[in-house]
Structures are given as C-alpha cells and as structure tokens.
Structure 1
Amino acid sequence: MTGTPCQRGGCPGRYDADGYCDQCGHKAPAVPAAGPVSVATGPMTAGFSGRTGAGLGGTASGLTGTRSTRSRASARGRLGAGLVDVPPVPLRNPTTAVMSDPQVPEPRRYCGKCDEPVGRGRDGQPGRPEGFCPHCGTQFSFVPRLATGDLVDGRYEILGCLAYGGLGWIYLARDRHVSEGGADRWVVLKGLINTGDPHAMESAMAERRFLVEVDHPNIVKIHDFARHPDPKTGELVGYIVMEYVGGQSLKDLALAHRGPTGQREPLPLPQVLAYALEVLPAMGYLHDRGLVFCDFKPDNVIQAEEQLKLIDLGAVRRIDDQTGAIYGTPGYQAADVATRGPSIESDLYTVGRAMAVLSFQFTGFSSKYADSMPAPADVDLFVREPSYHRLLTRVTHPDPLRRFASASEMADQVLGVLREVLSAADGVPRPSMSALFTAERRAFGTAAGAVPDDGRTLSPREVVTALPLPLVDPTDPAAGFLATLSAANPAEVVATLRAAPNRTAEVTYRLVRALAEAGDAAEAHTELGTLAPADADWRHGWHSGLIGLVAGRPQEALAAFASVAEALPGEPAAQLAEGVAAELAGNADLAIARYARVWRVDHGYVSTAFGLARLLLARHDRAGAIGVLDEVPDSSSQHVPAQIAAVRARIGDAGAVSEADLVDASTRLERLRLDPGRHAHLSVELFTAALRWLGVPLEARGATGAPPRTGTGRLLGRQLTERELRLGLETGYRALATQERDAFARYALVDRANAVRPRTLV
C-alpha cells in the first residue's frame, strides 16, 4: 500500500514503506481477501505535565489516535451541561506534536531535592543540562533518556518527546502489541527527570500501585508501567504508559483567546463554569476512592473536541497518606496543605483558583493574591456577577471548613451560577429543581393584584409562611417522623415537635420554623440556640433570617440570609430571601438586584416579579414594572393578579398618566374577563383615573361644559369625554352596590353613583 492515501477520515497523508501514514502516523489497515477493513477513528490521547506548570500546552495538544473499544472513550462529551456551546477543540496530527529539539529552558531548571536553580549559564556560556546541584550535591539531568526509535519493554516504539514537566519527560510512542481498528495504539510514556530523586521515584511508584485502577472518562487512563535501561548507567528506569489525549490545555486555550478587538481576553464566564462542571465529577470520582489530585491547574486539563481530561496524575496521592511527598503549584495550592495536608477541600480550592485565573485578568495570583481573592471593586466581573464572586469566595475560603465539602456539592452551586449568568445575559429563564429547597410555597406581596386592593404593605409574617422550605436531610434519624407532619395549625405543629421521640437537628429546625410562623420570635430564637455548633450550617442562617423577619428586625434578617446566599451562591431561594429582607430593610437597590436575578432564572418565583414591579413603581419606572408583570406566564395562578397589577400600574401615577396608558389599561381589563365584582372595582379605578386626566372634579357640581382636555380613544367601550366617563363611573358604582351584602355599604355606593353621574340642564 506504499504511497496510497491514508484511510483515516480527514487525513491528507499517504502510507510510507513502513506501512505508517506520513501525516497522522496510523498504520495501514490489513486487507484480507474479502476486502478492505474500515478504520474507526476518534479521540484517544493523553499526556502529563509537571509540578512547575509546564504542561503539554501547544506541544502535545491536539493529538489524534484510534478509538478505544472501551465504553469510556466517547466521540462526544457532555461539555457545557446542555446549557453552553463550548467551541470544540480539533484533534491535532501527532507527528507535528513531537519536539524537534527537546531541551529544558534554563529558567525552569531546579534541583529536585532542594529546589534551588541548577544548570544555569554564566559569563555568556550556556548552563550544563546535567551535573550536580551546587547547593546540596544532588545529581541532576534534563536530558531525555529515550530517543526516537527506542523500543521500551519490547512493545512501545518511541517517536520523540512531547513536553517536559517537574516530574518527567513525556514521550509519544506506538504500542506495537495492541491493534485497534487496524492501527497501532498511540500512547504516552512519562519517565523521571532524575532517577536519583527519592521524592520523584516515590511519586512514580505510587502511580504504579493504584493509578492503573483509575477509570473515569475525564481522567487520563494509566495503561501500564514499563522499564527501560538508562543509556548511560544501564540502570532500569520506570516509565508510566498512559492514554494519549489530544486537544489543547485550558491554559493554552486561555492564552489564545482574543476579544473583538484582537486583544487577549479571559475566557467567557459560561465557558469557565462549563469547564468546572466537567472537571468536578472527575475530582469527586477520585475523592470517593480516597484519592486527592493535589495539583489541579489549567495546565493539567486538556480539551479534546468536546471533552475534558485531567492529564497529570503525578501528584495524586491517598488522602490518608501521612508520609508521601506533596506536590502543588504556588497560586493554586491552599495554604492549609502545609499544616493539615491535602484534602478534598484543598482539591476544590485548586479548582476555584483555576476558575479565577481563566475568567478574569488575575494579576498577582501567585504573589500578591497567592492566598486571597481581589476585592469585588477591583474586578469588573465580580461586580457584574456577584454570585460568581460568592462561589469563588467560598471555595477558596482560608478556613477549609468554610469551603465546599464535596465535589458534587460544589457542582450543584456551579450549575446554579451558570444558569443565573446565562439567564441574565439573554433573558431566557433556565429553571431547575433544587436539591436543597422546595419551590416557593405561595406568592407573597401580591396586594396590587388583589381586588379590591386593601393597600396592604409587605408583611413579614406573610413572607415567613410563603418562602421555600429547606428540604429535610434524608440521613437525619427523624426524617421519617418529620415526613408525617401535616400542614396543620402552627401551634399544633409546635406541640407535636416538642413531643418528638428524637430531638435531632432537623426536628429543632422544624420547631424553630413553626414558632416563627406562629409569630413567637423569642421562643424560636431560644430553640435555635440549642443546636450544637456542628449543626450550625447554612440552615442556621436561614432560620435566623426567619426569626429576624418575624421580630421586625429586617437588618438582622438581611445579614442572616446574605450568609446563606454566600454559602449557596447558586440557589435562587437564598437570593429571594435576601431580596425580601433587603426590601423590608429599605435597601431598594439590593432588593431590585436580587429579585431581578431570581426572576430572570426562574419565573416560578412569582413573588420576585411583584417585588420588582413594586420597587420600580416606587421609582416611577412604570414601563419597567409593567414589563416584569407581563412576563408572568399565563400558566401561572398569578397571571391574572399580575395583569391587574399592570392595569393599576398604568393608571396609578396621576401626574404621568397619558391617554395611551388609559387605553392600554382598558384593553387589558377587557381581555381579563373577570367576574362582575372585580370588573366593576377596576372599572371604577379606570374611569376615576380618566376623569382626573381630563382635569375635571369627580363630583358633578354643575352643568357639563367643555372639558379642558379631550381624547380620541375609548375606555371599556366609552368615549374619552366627561359625560361618557361619568356614565361609566356611575355604572361601576351601581354594579358594586349590587354585589354588596352590607346595607349601609350598599347605600354608600349608590350615593357615590349619584354624586358622579352627569347632570343635565332642564
């Protein structure tokens, strides 16, 4: 088949005399008598980067290979969680990934034992790539130990070097013993920079012991552990044989990203959040098996087509390992690793730091801000996306106990923040079921949509009984008992809870909520104080906020609910509670911001629509208020109240009402098809507003003259003239009188009808 075109889809190469393609490196398929065999294609590559952050980058990125028969290698990943279209990264020809002159730059040469500079030039002379450390005497070598054509373990044919890292050179090789789809499998070999370094050798041996058992679609697969004689000493050197991953590292993708002006910009926030959602299950997989990754950073993640893979397992260790060497990267590694060792919390810390580096210009992340985040005022992204700032603040909190306790817990909040960011950008709601809260129990603050409108203001007790409920922890011993409680009178619920056979944290929280709903803030506060410190999680802040509302201390409630939103930055329920507390505390700006975010994400939280409309009307933004009310879906039980509130918003500001407002209110009212009583109430409000717009007194005190203003539109079928409007108002009052059961109230309405009807000269 020499000189014939490569049969791998999309490859322009031809097969050389050795039977391998001169472009993609794949072996020509065997041709049996029955005919040619099709060649399966797909992503199949990998690589390692080291402690210093030198990853595959543009050197070993975009590598191609044959499809594995394993179910773990899918042609299409789930990158983006179905919410974000992350640009796929094309696979790269492996023959172009091999380094032509593999050298370790002098600025990256450090002793493996004391971490002091070695191999540096002086007096104009280049540094030696091999020698002994002048500080501790440890031997070092930065020269690749394998050359093109070397056959490792009689099966892995070396094609060349791909990259280098703090723990070893990375080589591209063909596995001559495994044929997939008619072509040899591409693999990556990683060796040690210095076989005399005990820490590096220890890390390699640790990989050999347990990493071959790691099997996750987002983690590079360790196939084998091979040995090969050192060309100088003859000593056997160990090499890890890994899956071969193509694509580009997240670091390189970030460095290559350009904005509309052609200047380098951070990656879009939705893309960064999508990356986190792809990485966190892999981290959780390791944690569930008692392992910690330790050295997560953008260099150590490759995107190949639509899938991410963690590619450097060199620092992975067991959580309970008390003696092994710990590797990490300044700026990413948590400070507490030095005192308490690596942990799940410190692993998630590195994910948060990587997200920060990818999403904004994080100058000084490894120096000035090595252990902290910039202030929100210094990062425009934090100002625009406060929930994202809260997410990073929690995951990188100096106290490990204040961080997320698991990768799945963090992933839930990342997904919530992603939904919020996307909905805020395009206005399209992206609701989802919460794993922590029920839906809003009932809408509150909807008085503007009630008929008649009794002028009620927002009631704290109403809010407490309407906010979503925290879901009961199913592992709580009293979960079954709490499930039997019915929605009875709060006093009955309190009595039942006090007699509970097992006073667990969930029982106490339920008792506190029942007392708050009954209006007993003092007793609720006392019961909340009985919880042990270990049970004082975000639920403690939630119930503190309820108590603050009932007690008439909205500032305290606001602080408590803000702490919940900081712990759960992706939960709309937390922002809803924070918003209503802000409104009651007089902080309209914060209330509007929180209401708007929740409403954009989920139109199921109807209370936020009414809250937004209420606050916007207070600022004389009638168009904004009506726009929000119009977004209440017609499938909602609050659609009609929202439209009633929109009618009132049109005609409520006497000094700003126009003829167009009156006509629009009339059209809305006609479309609603209300019962006679409610229709009569609203028609009275409409005709009253119209008479005020004409500039005439409501009572007819004399002969009708030419009004100071006239209109061309029609209201509920009547012309915009004083006489027609008075007739309409009279009709409305009389209709109300027929609905009134109280005799004195009925007489008053009839008197009112007589007072407003037009008078004529006889």
Structure 2
Amino acid sequence: MTRCNRPDCGGGAIDEQGFCETCDRRPAERPRAEPPAPVPRPGRGAGVGVAQVRPDPWYGLGLVESDQGPPVPEVPPRSAEPVAEEHRFCPNPACRQPVGRGRGGGPGRAAGFCAECGTGFDFTQLDGLTIAGRYDVERVLGSGAYGAAYLAHDRNLATHVVLKALHSSVARTALHERDALVELRHDSIVRILGYEPEGPHLVLEYVPGVPLSAGDGDRLETLLAHGVRVLQALDYLHARGLLHCDVKPLNIMRFRELSPAGPQDRVRLIDFGAVRRHKDEGPLVAYTPRFAPPEGDPEHRRPTPGFDLFSLGRTLHEVCRSRLDGSAPGTESLALLLERATDTERPARRFVSARQFAEQLSGVIRQVVAAAPAHRQVARPSALFGSMPDALHGGLGTARPLAHWVEARPGEDGTLTMPAPFSSPGPGDIAAALPAPLSDPDAPDMAGSTRRALAESRLAVRRRDPQLAERALAAAGLPDWHWLHAWYRGLIALADEDPASAATAFTAVREAVPGELIPQLALGLCAELRGLRDTARAHYGAVFDTTPAVGAAGFGLARVRLLAGDRTGAVAAAVRLAQEFRHEREARVAAVRLSVTVLDGPALAVPGGDDLERAGAGLDGLGLDGAAAAGLRAEIRYAHFLHHRDRERLSEAIRGLGPHAPTEREYVALVDLANRLRPPLRWGWRAGRDGTGRSRAGGASRPLSS
C-alpha cells in the first residue's frame, strides 16, 4: 500500500484517486534527482589500428615508499586573525547591532565602540562567538576576500569541525548541491559534514595537518605522489560534475595518518568555499589569481576540469620549485610536465582530464625513483605507444658478418682492414621500428577519415615513401600543436633521412608527454645519427635507467659508450640488458663483442688481458655452434693477435670460417686470407765444405716457428 510522504502527515494511505485519506492531499512530488555527471569516456583518438590502452594512471603511487608525514598539533595555535566582519555584532544583548563593518571598500575596525549604545567591542578575540547555536568558534584558520574559515567545537557531535564561509554565488551552488557534497567519500577529500544557512557556511571535517610544502627532508617523489593523490581527488570530484576552483598549497592539507603499517604521509583537498557545478554558466567569482589561469583565458568564461588541473600545475611548481633547478633524473621531465599543465599561450595543449595528467606525472615519478637511492626500475605498457620488439642493436647483437672477413685486407704486420664492426641503425630502419601510437585515451573522438589517413601515413613510412606519408598526414587534419602530428612528422623526417628535423619533431612530442620513454628514445637515436654522442648518451641513459626492458636504449647506450672510449661502461650496459629475457641472447653476444671490438682511431685502446678473458668466458657460456660461434671465435682471436701477435692461431681461426662460407668464391677468399696470415717460412742454411749454401745432405732445413 502506498503511503503519503508529506512531512506534516502521519503517512496515511493513498486512495484510488491519488489522495491521502488522512490529509486529503496528493503526496508531495519527489524532487527529480539530476542524473550524475557521466564519467568522461576516453575518445577513440587518432590511432592506427592499435587497440586502445588505459593502464592505471595512478601507478606512480606504488613506486614511492610512504614517509611518516609531518608531526602536527591536534589543535592549531591561536591566530591573530580578527573575527570576519559578517560576524561582528555589538556585544550588548539589548543592542546586537552590526559593528566593525567596512565602508567604501575599506575594512572595518576590529576594535572600537558601538555607534548605537556605546558598548566597546574587540573582535581580535573570539571568546563567546557561536555560529548557528551549536558551533563554538575557537580559532580563525584563515580569512580572505570571500570570508573566513573557523575551527569550532560542534556541541552536537562533540568534536572539532571547520566552518568555511561561502561567497554568495558559491552559496547557491553549495545549497543546491549540499546532498552531493555531503555524500563525497574519498580518501584525499576532506569530509563535508553539512551546510549551515547562517553565514552561510560549509561544515567540514577538521584535518590536523599543515599546508603542502617541501620540507628539507622531503624527497621529490614524495611530493609528486601527493600530486597524484590530489589528481585522484579531482578525478572523483569532476566525475560528479563539481569543480573545486581553488586548488592551491594552502588548500591541500598534509597530515600523518595512522595505519596498521605505521604512520603514513597523506594529503587531503580541503576548503570547498569556491565549489561550483561544471554545468554552471557565468564567470568565476571565487578563486586565487596566483594559482588560476590568467584573466581572458577560456577557463574564465566557462570553467571546466581544466581549471583545477591548471591550478594543480601551478601548485606543484610552487611546491617543487627548489627541486627544478637541479640535474637529478626526472627533473627535466617534471619541468616539461608543469609547462604543459600551465601553458597560457596554447590552452588547448593543456591536460583535459585528471587521468591524463596523472598518467604523465606517474611516468615522471618512475624516472625519478630509478635513480639513487631508490633504484626502482619498472617496465610497464605505455598508455600512448605500442610495444617495440626491434632492439635496433646495429649489428652488436650478432657475430660480425662473414662478408667482413671475406673482404678483409691484411697489412704487412698482420692487422686487418675491415668494415666497422657495428653501426648506428639507419634512419629508415628507426622510422619503421619506432612503435605506432595507440589511440589517445583522452583525445577527442576523431573522424574515421583521420584515423585512416594516419594509418596510411604510417604504412608509407614503413615502405620508405616520405612523400606519400607527408600527403597522408596533411589529409589527417591534426592540429599542429598536437603531439600525434609531431610524432608523425618525426617519422616522416627519418624516412626522408633528415634526423635533424626528426629531432625537432620528437622534441615537441617529449614536451607534450614527458612521462613517456619512447620520445626520449627517439631523441637518443636521432642524436646518435647526428654524431651528438653526449646528447645520445644522456637520452639513452635516462630511458635505460628507468626501464632496462627497452632494448634499443641499452644497445644504443653500449654503442655510444664504446665510441667514446668507455669499453667497461659499454660492456656493463650489455650485461645489464642481458638480464631482460627478451634481449638476453643478443645482449650476451654484444657483451662478448664489446669486450674485444677494435675501432679505428685513438679513442679506444686495444683489448687487454681482462677483456680477452671476459670475452672467452662469455663465449663459453653462450652455447653457440655453427657460423655464429666460428665468427665470435675469430673476432676474439683477432683481439688476441693484437695483444700477443700470434699469427698462426689467428690464421687457424679464420680458416675455421671457411666451412660456413655460402659460396666457393667466399670459401677460397677465406682460405687465402688464412694462408696470408700464417707466419712466413724461414729456411736455415749451413755452408758445406764446398762453400755453397747446400747442407751436406743437400736438403732444405725445416721451417722455423714464429
């Protein structure tokens, strides 16, 4: 049976005509609940047929070991802030007229005498101030242009709470959304307990803590992890159609949370005094200009979640300012991340969702913790790029080609003139090997024609047809500032054998997605092609230190280290890469070859005894047979020759390559080379009685060993 739902009715039964039998009225209409704001679904973006991926964007939190958090008093010290003007009334019970109010835009007097009855007042003290008959004010936590925040004791709940005064326009939003605000439940959002019409005020949970800042002992990754937690809170808030509109360090409370694992360093987003609905129209009225987009920015005309993300970017820049000037791993990526988050010249380039921001911020954390003292290296799928199975080892991962030995030319001293033992990957090979971009989870849904055009451009790059790839990219219609456009421009430049232009394009990609490793790998490859070995080593090292699973970075680092004369460092890179299962065999071969490789020029010394011993041990452990084993043995033996000048054993090693020659001509060439490297025959002569050069037996002496 249906019952009446009017609050002044006893719940009488509803008759057949829809009227209450007790109060003779229809039941009150239930307010239509507005449907919750839909969680933004990632757009399909501009992919090239690769499935969309959305890994956990908050993964950076799992890379940071939690600190205990700052010690804070349970109750903050008494503030010198005076009582807010809207709460200044004459202390005379018979008068109670407003006093201490400002006029003409100026502030009111905090102490003086009532103009009506002459009673003195002093609002620098809070004694006796009670709001809504239940909140006894104890402290002023802060005050600004839009009102004060008080620490008060709630008589009903017997606990401390915070009363936050609301601007008139914000108060309307808070009144309409009070149920939604009270129902907010998130570990990184302060609990909103209620709404008081007097003032009006929001009643919030009191979190004993300190505003977010960088202490002397705080690690960079700890501060960035707090940024990820705030992004989690904003993602939760934005999904419910609400904007905070005043994200800043003072509104991110850092506190110590007790847990079974011990004290944890945590943060909560506080102060919802500027909250508004996403669908609200009209300009903003309550925000902090220092942390907000500048006047005239599109976010001021119609605020979106981007307003909060911009403010968080400014907040992290403020908190991490002292760490941005150093050269520690990850700091350059962090600077690029914050530049994108707060870009005022190209607002469309900024982050559009908390998850997009968090994905890149987590990637920056991964780069930071890869260095000392954490040394945490994490291999995980990218949200924006597919896998890259081609290690681009440049010939290091296999034995020297047999053709090198066939074409070798020996000198008078037995040294061989041969092609370089390895090389940098060619521009076209790099363009074909770099992974395809995935469908950007946060990009707007692009037309099918755009996706098809990008797929055609990618295919043309792999076919080494840069002109066709360029035409297809132009047909895609991507904006010039978008990282996808820059990525394809870089691939096309490589296919056109223009690594300098490719580097310019890949730099734009790195600036847009600094948490990703693939753009930095591409920059390392371009720098190596251009002969910029220090730059290449820096890019390769940053990627390889973050995750050794990126084989192209490990092989690239080994190449440029060897070319710089650092044989030990080159071998160490290959040995480290060999720990990755996918690249184990090639990296172990590279370690053997790097130990004995001989290069032209004075930069690299001839392999020493330790190098030769290491190479021999590495070869024995590989378990190779056939042509590969024979090739490595010949290379090791040539290094021995340069160290010991043992021509006979070198000749034998090269002769051992002969059975693996694919043609008779090559077989003959190898045998000829082996014969030419054998020690020269020396004939011993003993003069006979007749003074001739014949021995008494009339025969030649045996050849002497060299």
Query: Which TM bucket (shorter chain)?
Result: 0.7 to 0.9
Give the direction of change, closer, same or farther, for the CA distance of 1:186–1:80 in structure 2 (3 Å limit). farther
Q: CA deviation at 1:165?
A: 1.7
Task: Please list the CA deviations of residues 320-340 of structure 1 after superposition, one character each: whole Å capped at 9, or x if unmatched.
Answer: 434465233343222146665
Give the direction of change, closer, same or farther, for the CA distance of 1:746–1:505 in structure 2 (3 Å limit). same
Q: Any conservation in 2 of the 1:445–1:459 contact (CA below 8 Å)?
A: no
Q: CA deviation at 1:518?
A: 0.4
Query: Where in structure 2 are the equivalents of 1:178-193 lying within 5 Å?
Result: 178=157, 184-191=158-165
Match status 1:225 vs 2:195? yes
Q: Any conservation in 1 of the 2:361–2:515 contact (CA below 8 Å)?
A: yes
Match status 1:353 vs 2:314? yes
Task: Please list the CA deviations of residues 25-44 of structure 1 after superposition, one character each: whole Å capped at 9, or x if unmatched.
Answer: xxxxxxxxxxxxxxxxxxxx
Q: Which amino acid counterpart does residue 219 of structure 1 have in structure 2?
A: I
Q: Partners of 1:90 and 1:456 in 2: how far apart?
A: 53
Task: Please list the CA deviations of residues 707-731 of structure 1 after superposition, one character each: whole Å capped at 9, or x if unmatched.
Answer: xxxxxxxxxxxxxxx3xx623x343
Task: Please list the CA deviations of residues 291-342 of structure 1 after superposition, one character each: whole Å capped at 9, or x if unmatched.
Answer: 3222211111112223211111112223343446523334322214666514
Q: CA deviation at 1:557?
A: 0.7
In structure 2, what is the equivalent of residue 289 of structure 1?
Answer: 240
Q: Any conservation in 1 of the 2:135–2:154 contact (CA below 8 Å)?
A: yes
In structure 2, what is the equivalent of residue 332 of structure 1?
Answer: 291
Task: Please list the CA deviations of residues 332-353 of structure 1 after superposition, one character each: whole Å capped at 9, or x if unmatched.
Answer: 2221466651433232121111
Aligned partner (choices 661, 673, 676) of residue 740 of structure 1:
661
In structure 2, what is the equivalent of residue 656 of structure 1?
Answer: 606
Q: Partners of 2:140 and 2:501 in 1: how far apart?
A: 58
Q: Which amino acid counterpart does residue 150 of structure 2 have in structure 1?
A: Y
Q: Partners of 2:307 and 2:483 in 1: how far apart?
A: 21
In structure 1, what is the equivalent of residue 684 of structure 2?
Answer: none
Match status 1:416 vs 2:363? yes
Identity %: 31
Task: Please list the CA deviations of residues 664-709 of structure 1 after superposition, one character each: whole Å capped at 9, or x if unmatched.
Answer: 2212122222113211111111112211222x4xxxxxxxxxxxxx
Q: CA deviation at 1:287?
A: 2.4
Q: Any conservation in 2 of the 1:161–1:172 contact (CA below 8 Å)?
A: yes
Q: Which amino acid counterpart does residue 84 of structure 1 have in structure 2?
A: V
Q: Any conservation in 2 of the 1:223–1:242 contact (CA below 8 Å)?
A: yes
Q: CA deviation at 1:613?
A: 1.1
Q: CA deviation at 1:596?
A: 1.0
Q: CA RMSD in A?
A: 3.3
In structure 1, what is the equivalent of residue 619 of structure 2?
Answer: 669
Matched residue SS, 1:81 = helix
Match status 1:169 vs 2:148? yes
Match status 1:466 vs 2:433? yes
Q: Partners of 1:152 and 1:322 in 2: how far apart?
A: 32
Query: Where in structure 2 are the equivalents of 1:486-505 lying within 5 Å?
Result: 503-505=448-450
Give the direction of change, closer, same or farther, for the CA distance of 1:432–1:475 in structure 2 (3 Å limit). closer
In structure 2, what is the equivalent of residue 486 of structure 1?
Answer: none
Task: Please list the CA deviations of residues 29-75 of structure 1 after superposition, one character each: whole Å capped at 9, or x if unmatched.
Answer: xxxxxxxxxxxxxxxxxxxxxxxxxxxxxxxxxxxxxxxxxxxxxxx
Q: Any conservation in 1 of the 2:80–2:124 contact (CA below 8 Å)?
A: no
In structure 2, what is the equivalent of residue 439 of structure 1?
Answer: 387
Q: Which amino acid counterpart does residue 632 of structure 1 have in structure 2?
A: L
Q: CA deviation at 1:476?
A: 9.9
Give the TM-score taking structure 1 as reference length: 0.68
Give the direction of change, closer, same or farther, for the CA distance of 1:525–1:742 in structure 2 (3 Å limit). same
Aligned residues: 565
Q: Partners of 1:568 and 1:554 in 2: how far apart?
A: 20
Query: Where in structure 2 are the equivalents of 1:268-667 lying within 5 Å?
Result: 268-305=219-256, 306-323=265-282, 325-336=284-295, 340-341=299-300, 342-361=303-322, 379-380=325-326, 385-398=331-344, 399-426=346-373, 427-453=375-401, 455-472=422-439, 503-534=448-479, 537-653=482-598, 655-667=605-617
Q: Which amino acid counterpart does residue 447 of structure 1 have in structure 2?
A: G
Q: Partners of 2:624 and 2:205 in 1: how far apart?
A: 68
Q: Any conservation in 1 of the 2:555–2:574 contact (CA below 8 Å)?
A: yes
Q: Partners of 2:331 and 2:534 in 1: how far apart?
A: 15
Task: Please list the CA deviations of residues 461-512 of structure 1 after superposition, one character each: whole Å capped at 9, or x if unmatched.
Answer: 2112211221135799999xxxxxxxxxxxxxxxxxxxxxx84222111110
Q: CA deviation at 1:225?
A: 1.9
Q: Partners of 1:579 and 1:643 in 2: how far apart?
A: 22
Q: Any conservation in 1 of the 2:101–2:108 contact (CA below 8 Å)?
A: yes
Matched residue SS, 2:280 = coil
Q: Which amino acid counterpart does residue 310 of structure 1 have in structure 2?
A: L
Q: Partners of 1:576 and 1:211 in 2: how far apart?
A: 50
Q: Which amino acid counterpart does residue 571 of structure 2 have in structure 1?
A: I
Larger Rg: 2
Match status 1:81 vs 2:26? no
Q: Any conservation in 1 of the 2:612–2:636 contact (CA below 8 Å)?
A: yes
Task: Please list the CA deviations of residues 209-229 of structure 1 after superposition, one character each: whole Å capped at 9, or x if unmatched.
Answer: 3254131321122211235xx
Q: CA deviation at 1:356?
A: 1.3
Q: Which amino acid counterpart does residue 559 of structure 1 have in structure 2?
A: T
Give the direction of change, closer, same or farther, for the CA distance of 1:519–1:738 in structure 2 (3 Å limit). same
Give the direction of change, closer, same or farther, for the CA distance of 1:361–1:327 in structure 2 (3 Å limit). farther
Query: Which moves more between the two structures, 137-146 or 536-545?
Result: 137-146
Q: Any conservation in 1 of the 2:337–2:514 contact (CA below 8 Å)?
A: yes
Task: Please list the CA deviations of residues 522-542 of structure 1 after superposition, one character each: whole Å capped at 9, or x if unmatched.
Answer: 011011111224596211111
Q: Partners of 1:393 and 1:224 in 2: how far apart?
A: 38
Q: CA deviation at 1:458?
A: 1.6
Q: Partners of 1:176 and 1:104 in 2: how far apart?
A: 23
Q: Partners of 2:460 and 2:608 in 1: how far apart?
A: 49
In structure 2, what is the equivalent of residue 238 of structure 1?
Answer: 200
Q: CA deviation at 1:575?
A: 1.1
Q: Partners of 1:594 and 1:672 in 2: how far apart?
A: 30
Task: Please list the CA deviations of residues 220-261 of structure 1 after superposition, one character each: whole Å capped at 9, or x if unmatched.
Answer: 22211235xxxxxxxx5433211121222214xx3xx236xx
Greater relative contact order (CA < 8 Å, ≥ 6 in sequence):
2
Match status 1:693 vs 2:643? yes
Q: Any conservation in 1 of the 2:523–2:536 contact (CA below 8 Å)?
A: yes
Q: Any conservation in 1 of the 2:499–2:529 contact (CA below 8 Å)?
A: yes
Give the direction of change, closer, same or farther, for the CA distance of 1:211–1:413 in structure 2 (3 Å limit). farther
Q: Which amino acid counterpart does residue 644 of structure 1 have in structure 2?
A: V
Q: Any conservation in 1 of the 2:170–2:274 contact (CA below 8 Å)?
A: yes
Q: Partners of 1:140 and 1:318 in 2: how far apart?
A: 36
Q: CA deviation at 1:186?
A: 3.5
Give the TM-score taking structure 2 as reference length: 0.73
Matched residue SS, 2:177 = helix
Give the direction of change, closer, same or farther, for the CA distance of 1:503–1:220 in structure 2 (3 Å limit). closer
